[in-house]
């Protein structure tokens, strides 16, 4: 059992989004209580969309002090913010445009820029924003980083067999991902692993092989980069829907749907 790691199986995607929203709010409230600020890096892809839409509803949105919340991104595709592939676009449509968060609190990765410039600029934003705490921990320490899992075991834009996996000096890098035939910009593993809380959201039968390899297989991070995510001091929680959790047999806590 990896210390500080929790794996929870939910009946379906809706229950997964609900559980993720509850944990998001809890982490935000704890951060606010301690530092009057909450920093979160959003994930891209499709799975978190339901979570973002839920967070935008009054049930959850009113529990978060958006004025003291700073939204970042774990990774971005090298496309403009209105492009269908943009992670910012997805998060903005589902959440950001629907909550009272000050524009200056949303720190998007400039996908429209040259990828290397976007990475350099984003790293500078992190250096300036997290400057007050850098002396203590050395890298930005997010209160929460949301992550997904690709069917190939990638997370954020840390793809198998790429130099991105071995990057330990830079916090943000850009590179051409053969698999997606696109340039990507991503936080590197040291920054992700410095987070206070990491929440993986994984759903669908197509993720079974990756879930089994990452959570139950031998340590082969070059093949399954999500295995790199082992926070130094923080907690990592995997929220899986029933299909993705089938990879683990009955050795996972099943979170029953709350019956009214």
| Interface contacts to ligand 6PG, rule CB under 6 A | 43-47, 74-75, 87, 148-150, 154-157
Question: Which residue has the CB atom at the shortest distance from ligand 6PG?
Answer: 148
| Cβ 10 to ligand 6PG shortest distance, Å | 15
| Cβ 44 to ligand 6PG shortest distance, Å | 3
Query: What residue has token string 């499709």?
Result: 46
| Cβ 74 to ligand 6PG shortest distance, Å | 6
Nearer to ligand 6PG, 7 or 229 (CB): 229
| Cβ 68 to ligand 6PG shortest distance, Å | 25
Nearer to ligand 6PG, 16 or 194 (CB): 16
| Cβ 30 to ligand 6PG shortest distance, Å | 24
Nearer to ligand 6PG, 150 or 234 (CB): 150
DSSP annotation of 175: E
DSSP per residue, 121-164: HHHHHHHHHTHHHHHHHSS---SEEEE---TTS-BTTB-TTSGG
Nearer to ligand 6PG, 35 or 161 (CB): 161
Q: What distance lies between CA 44 and its chain's CA centroid?
A: 8
The whole-angstrom separation of Cα 197 and Cα 40 is 9
Residues with Cβ < 8 Å from 247, sequence gap 6 or more?
207, 208, 209, 211, 212, 215, 216
């Amino acid at each position: 059992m990896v210390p500080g790691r929790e794996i929870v199986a939910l009946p379906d995607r809706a229950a997964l989004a609900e559980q993720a929203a509850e944990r998001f709010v809890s982490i935000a409230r704890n951060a606010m209580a301690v530092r009057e600020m909450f920093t979160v890096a959003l994930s891209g892809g499709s799975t978190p969309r339901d979570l973002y839409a839920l967070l935008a509803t009054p049930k959850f949105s009113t529990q978060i002090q958006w004025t003291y919340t700073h939204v970042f991104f774990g990774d971005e595709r090298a496309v403009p913010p209105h492009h269908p592939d943009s992670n910012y676009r997805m998060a903005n449509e589902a959440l950001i445009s629907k909550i009272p968060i000050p524009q200056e609190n949303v720190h998007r990765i400039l996908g429209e820029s040259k990828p290397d410039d976007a990475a350099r600029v984003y790293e500078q934003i992190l250096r300036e924003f997290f400057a007050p705490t850098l002396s203590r921990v050395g890298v930005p320490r997010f209160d929460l980083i949301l992550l997904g899992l690709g069917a190939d075991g990638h997370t954020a834009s840390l793809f198998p067999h790429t130099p991105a996996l071995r990057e330990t000096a830079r916090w943000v890098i850009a590179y051409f991902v053969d698999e997606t035939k696109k340039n990507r910009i991503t936080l590197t593993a040291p920054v992700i692993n410095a987070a206070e809380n990491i929440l993986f959201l994984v759903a669908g039968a197509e993720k079974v092989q990756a879930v089994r390899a990452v959570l139950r297989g031998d340590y082969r991070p070059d093949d399954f980069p999500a295995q790199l995510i082992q926070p130094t001091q923080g907690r990592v929680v995997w929220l899986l829907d029933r299909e993705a959790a089938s990879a683990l047999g009955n050795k996972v806590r099943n979170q029953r749907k709350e019956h009214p």
